[in-house]
Structure 1
Amino acid sequence: MVEFQADTSISAEAIAVVGMSCRLPHAENPAQLWRLLREGRSAIGAPPAGRPGLPSRPGGYLEDVSGFDAGFFGVSPREAASMDPQQRLMLELAWEALEDARILPSALADSRTGVFVGVIADDYAALTRQHGGDGVTRHTLTGLNRGVIANRISYTLGLHGPSAAVDTGQSSSLVAVHLAAESLRRGESTMALAGGVSLNLVPDSTTSAERLGALSPDGLSFTFDARANGYVRGEGGAFVLLKPLHAAVADGDPVYCVLRGSAMNNDGTTEGLTVPSSAGQQEVLRQAYRRAGVAAEQVQYVELHGTGTKVGDPIEASALGAVLGDGRADGAALRVGSVKTNVGHLEGAAGIVGLLKAALCIRHRELVPSLNFETPNPDIPFDALKLAVQRGVEAWPRPDEPLYGGVSSFGVGGTNCHVVLSDWRTGPAEGPPAAPSGTGAVPWVLSGRSAEAVAGQAGRLVSYLEERPELDAAAVGRSLAASRARFDHRAVVVGQTPDELLAGVRALAEGLPAAGVVTGRAVPGGPGRTVFVFPGQGSQWRGMAVGLVEVSPVFAARLGE
């Protein structure tokens, strides 16, 4: 279609996704989310036994929403108890997204880093009100204010960029991404955290969705299937860390994918406040792809809003077909899918989960199955619209071409958002640069605010390494030393082989003594103590440092200088 031919004069500045984090049902981080998606698993189930008071209907639940290391973030236990768990969760996820990007959180102090959080739920406020005046403390106002979910992150990290909670209904978190990208393009922010959160803490919020007629009585989301009869609620949170692509490349940041353009609008007047509009959705798609400078036939995959409702699915399909289906070659149907079939509908955080799925598909150059699709919805003419639901794991279509995908998210009140993503083929290699290989020992350093925290870090590192035996020990050591915050309680594991290092980290996690493991506590501002003294005479010998010259190019280069 001519209106979507690439036009650099109108293309938006490219924005890189350089870090991400998530806490989702059966997925504590993006790596676990990718395994869940690739294996075609559903995280929908009964409420966890440890969370009484939830409705008995199936959903995508987190096992625990109460855990929080208040001391780590400088929050008193009393204040932490008054904070909405959504606020606590997003503090943790902001930190994890920065670590994923290999950025020290302390390095962002006084920077124009923005924070944009999509959030619509206030279940914890409802719980607090159940206690009447006895439940109100001096921390209640800040603990329950949804704006503070973003503001608390800015305060804790010392960020001076925009800081805002976004509420456009179920499209809130994708709109947060759109607003963050626009802030970066205007130069208002130099970097931005964008995401969303939604926790289901009281039965009333589920009852409201049920009485609206939005929930599936079967407890499954049948997106684009003939059985489509409503969605299943999910919960969790996620962040992406965004940065202008030119800055990310200059800084050597890892790049998951590139946000080429985005758009948002509203349906205006329709047959009803909650009834979506095909015309409105078509227009937001056209705006997004015009701004991205991407032609319709170049788009290979779209992550649907895909709620699995009788009304919503056919309207979304018709809009996609009208904008991206027309003009496609035979056999080149647009692939579509919905992460809601895996983890449920996270409502205010739904869009960011769809973005994570699409970003991971681009990074791994694979498409993953959309679940619960057996019989095509008879109200969707798939062949005429040139759409095909993704049903298995396979390579991205036309892998020799640039990978282009889109993500849609629509609010109950008609606010629509769509973002356009692509791969980044000339970016830096995945993972930290490898340290020079040699025959000497490699140190792995860990730290935490307590000895227990160090052990916990060690346990997570063990799990990470057991799943990735191919990782280079020196590269892991460099990442631990250069891209992690340093706290008072510290440990160093030294070894000459990956097996020695892993055994040492495992012993540290279990609190057992082991050779090559040293623990201790640094005293900030304390008196310095001499570690080494080099007198400059009497300790030299012929051939000194020749071995180091042979195994360390860095040392050899400095010696040459």
Structure 2
Amino acid sequence: MDSHQRLMLEVVEESFEDAGIDPHTLKSDCGVFVGIGAMDYAINVIEAHHTNPYTITGISHCVTANRISYAFDLQGPSYTVDTACASSLTAIHLACTHIWNRECKVAVVGGCNTILIPEITIGFSVLGVLSPEGRCCPFSDNAKGYVRSEGWGSVILKPLTTALADDDHIYSVIKGSAIAANGFSGSLTMPLREAQEYVMHEAYNRFNLSKSLVDYVEAHGTGTPVGDPVEAAAIGSVFGSIRKETLKIGSGKSNFGHNEYAAGITAVIKTCLMLSKRFLCPTINYNYPNQNIDFKGLNLEVQTTRAPFLPNKLYRIGVNSFGFSGSVAHLVLEESPHRDYKTNRQCGWSFGGESEGEQILIPLSAKSKEAVDDLARKWLSFQHEGDALGVVAWQAMRRKHHDYRMVITAKSGTEFEQSLNTYFSRESIDSIIVGSSSTKQSKICMLFPGQGQQWISMGTQLYATEGIFREVISKCDAIFRNLSGWSIVNDAGIFLTKAPSKTATKIPVNSGTMIDEIEVCQPAILFLQIGLFHLLKHWGVKPHAVIGHSLGEVAAAYACGGMKMRKQL
């Protein structure tokens, strides 16, 4: 199998993990679009005469996208794109088009480039585009060409409204895109300023976007003596001429080299991270301005330092990508809408921190015991300044749980690390449980006990944090209030973290021992049991059988469908 296929499977898996999406739930809603073109592996295999039944699928570029669809059971549009160095940015444009046309709701977009044989490098060297010094220096006076590099990357695209509704982590928003070609010009491989200007204008004009609001352009910036002046002139003509402030430009090829078919996805990931982290990254290897570029006249400046974004300003960045065969592409990215994440509950400690708080469960899973151990070792050095419960909640609720599992209990970052170190030293430890899930689904029986289980804070945390539980309690309480004339929640204050604001005069009990009075505790226990039943059902825990004792017989009758909610109350 071509390493393109294997490594793209890995980065796509990581993208789904990062997005908190189980790909096996997407089916026909998800398309796959991959920029690819290098033929190194196929040339090697054919020349070595290693032909077998898997050779064709192993070397065909189209299979790179289709194998991703096959592995994750994605049934939407799936194909590869080859426009040379513009391949992965072209793939993003096509993926957006499919989403806008409602041919898929989610898209996996990636790009890959593998270097396995020297002949291609020799060809580019003869063409005169490679740096003899092994350094890429975009827009600099010492620019002599680029450095070839390998790369594999992928992103997940969704409509903004869907991503907001799903409470996804949004790195950035695609505001517009365009693709085109040079057409006939002085040379097939020579960049053309007019074509670059055209595709940039199209990306903004087609979507009614103001070019004056662009704060930075992530340029193709290969560091070639011909390419940089042409691209800088095009960027300056489109953006610099309509701005008062100098437009900052830069290129990730000074950092990563030119990973060719993956160059576009590399630039997009860099830009998304800049927008998410809210600062511009420096372009390195920049010495003095290229004398063939009129930076002052074009109103451009190369970004050479780390620059934080200004507060209360929404940043917009353009991304350029051009292929040596004449393809051109431009993408417009913008910061995601600001959202205030309000958590109803925190545990009071963080990974890598020393503070101590509430004990929580940290679930890890993988496809083998060795993989679980490897994952746990990575968590040993994991640090995050946010509350640990927020991190664990994402891990538990937004990622697929594999068959081999480990659960660690901890109440501080220090205790978490100590527990894992003890585990890896082969010592027995109660705070870590390791096992595997059974392929045979166990049958579940729910037992509903009788009176006597009540306590003052019963159900308050679930009522405050779980919408399903709170909704069921409210329905029960509404029926009970119509029958009795008073409310378990609002008058008795059961399930509330604070006492009712008004003195309840309708409750036929002494408020000092309210939860233990039969008029209060029996309906409260029933409410709790029904609420727990619906919450567990919402989480996918459904009973095969139910048992009730005493008062719990009423909830059991409801759980098995033998009694309606109003009837039992």
TM-score by length of 2: 0.77
How far did 1:262 drift? 0.5
Is 1:296 matched up with 2:211?
yes
Correspondence for 2:318: 406
Paired residue for 2:457? Answer: 546
Deviation at 1:537, TM superposition (A): 3.7
Cα gap change, 1:440 to 1:402, in 2 (>3 Å): closer
Partners of 1:399 and 1:315 in 2: CA distance: 34
Asked if 1:485 corresponds to 2:400, the answer is yes
CA distance, structure 1, for counterparts of residue 99 and residue 209 of structure 2? 21
Cα offset, 1:205, TM superposition? 2.1
2:275 pairs with one of 357, 362, 366: 362
Q: Distance in 1 between matches of 2:233 and 2:19?
A: 38
Partner of 1:441, secondary structure, is strand
The residue number in structure 2 matching 1:256 is 171
Structure 1 position 343 matched with structure 2 position 261? no
| Partner of residue 278, structure 1 | 193
The offset of 1:401, in angstroms, is: 2.9
- Given the alignment, which residue of 351, 361, 373 partners 1:443? 361
Distance of 1:308 and 1:160 partners within structure 2:
40
What's the secondary structure of 2:53's corresponding residue?
coil
User: Structure 1 residues 192 and 227, CA, compared in 2 at 3 Å: closer, same or farther?
Assistant: same
Separation (CA, whole Å) in 2 of partners of 1:171 and 1:362: 22
Matches within 5 A, 1:357-436: 357-396=270-309, 398-427=310-339, 429=341, 435-436=345-346
Separation in 1, partners of 2:117, 2:463: 59
Summarize deviations over 1:155-197 as a string: whole Å, max 9, x none. 1111111111100011001101111111111101101011100
Q: What's the offset of the Cα at 1:552?
A: 7.2
Q: Does 1:89 align with 2:14?
A: no
Q: 1:114 aligns with which of 31, 48, 69?
A: 31
Contact 1:304 1:337 in 2 (8 A): yes
Q: 1:507 to 1:419 in 2, by over 3 A?
A: farther
Deviations, residues 455-487 of structure 1 (Å, cap 9, x unaligned): 112122233x23x2x131211221221122122
**Partner secondary structure for residue 408 of structure 1:** strand
**Which of the numbers 42, 64, 78 marks the counterpart of 1:149?**
64
1:491–1:518 Cα contact (<8 Å) kept: yes
1:184 aligns to 2:96 (yes or no):
no
Q: CA shift at 1:232, angstroms?
A: 0.3
How far apart, CA to CA, are the structure 2 residues paired with 1:535 and 1:355?
Answer: 54
Contact 2:345 2:465 in 1 (8 A): no
Aligned residue in 2 for 1:137: 52
Asked if 1:164 corresponds to 2:73, the answer is no
Work out whether residues 106 and 156 of structure 2, in 8 Å CA contact, stay in contact via their aligned partners in 1.
yes
State the SS of the aligned residue for 1:326.
helix
Does the 8 A contact of 1:409 with 1:416 survive in 2? Answer: yes
| 2:347–2:359 contact (8 Å) kept in structure 1 | no
Which protein is bigger by CA-based radius of gyration?
2
Specify the alignment match of 1:12 in structure 2: none
Secondary structure at the aligned position of 2:34 is classed as strand
Give deviations 1:372-412, integer Å, cap 9, x for gaps. Answer: 1111001100000000000101123x543321110000000
Q: Does 1:194 align with 2:194?
A: no
Per the alignment, in what secondary structure is the counterpart of residue 499 of structure 1? helix
Per-residue deviation at 1:294? 2.3
Partner secondary structure for residue 348 of structure 1: helix
Q: Which amino acid aligns with 2:360?
A: V
Q: Distance in 2 between matches of 1:162 and 1:505?
A: 44
**Per-residue deviation, 1:214:** 1.3
**Alignment coverage as a number of residue pairs:** 464
Cα drift, residue 428 of structure 1:
6.2
Matches within 5 A, 1:184-333: 184-329=99-244, 332-333=245-246
499-508 or 545-554: bigger deviation: 545-554
Task: Check 1:198–1:433 CA distance in 2 against 1; reply closer, same or farther (3 A cut).
Answer: farther
In the alignment, structure 1 residue 105 sits paired with structure 2 residue 23: yes
Q: Given the superposition, is the C-alpha separation of residues 342 and 253 from structure 1 closer, same or farther in structure 2, using an over 3 Å criterion?
A: same
**C-alpha distance after superposition, 1:214-234 (max 9, x if no partner):** 110010011101111110011
Equivalent position SS for 1:111 = helix
Deviations 1:308-330 (A, max 9, x none): 0011000001101111111211x
What residue ranges of structure 2 are gaps of 5+ in the alignment? 349-356, 474-494, 496-526, 528-569
Whose relative contact order is higher, 1 or 2, with alpha carbons under 8 Å and at least 6 apart? 1
Q: Deviations over 1:55-88 (max 9, x none)?
A: xxxxxxxxxxxxxxxxxxxxxxxxxxxx111100
* In structure 2, C-alpha distance between the alignment counterparts of 1:441 and 1:422, rounded to whole Å: 39
Measured in 1, the distance between the counterparts of 2:148 and 2:358 equals 53
> What amino acid does structure 1 have at the position aligned with 2:164?
V
Return the alpha-carbon distance in structure 1 between the equivalents of residues 73 and 361 of structure 2: 31
Q: Could you list the runs of 5+ residues in structure 1 that have no partner in the other structure?
A: 1-82
Q: Which residue does 2:515 correspond to in 1?
A: none
Whether the 8 Å contact between 2:23 and 2:74 is mirrored in structure 1 is no
Equivalent in the alignment of 1:504: 419
SS of residue paired to 2:330: strand
Q: Equivalent pairs: percent with the same residue? A: 36
Question: 1:149 and 1:337 mapped to 2: Cα distance?
Answer: 31
Aligned-residue CA RMSD (Å): 2.2
Q: Is the 8 A contact 1:254 1:427 kept in 2?
A: no
State the shift of 1:131 in Å: 1.8
1:112-141 Cα deviation digits (max 9, x unpaired): 201110011121112212321xx1121111
CA pair 147-116 structure 1, distance change in 2 beyond 3 A: same
Equivalent residues of 2:347, 2:360 under 8 A apart:
no
Give the superposition deviation at 1:261: 0.2
Distance in 2, Cα, partners of 1:190 & 1:246: 11
Tell me the distance in 1 between the aligned counterparts of 2:377 and 2:232: 45
**Letter paired with 1:411:** G
Aligned to 1:27: none
Q: How does 1:444-459 map to 2 (within 5 A)?
A: 444-459=362-377
Task: Judge which range, 291-300 or 311-320, deviates more.
Answer: 291-300
Counterpart check, 1:127 vs 2:50? no
Which residue does 2:505 correspond to in 1? none
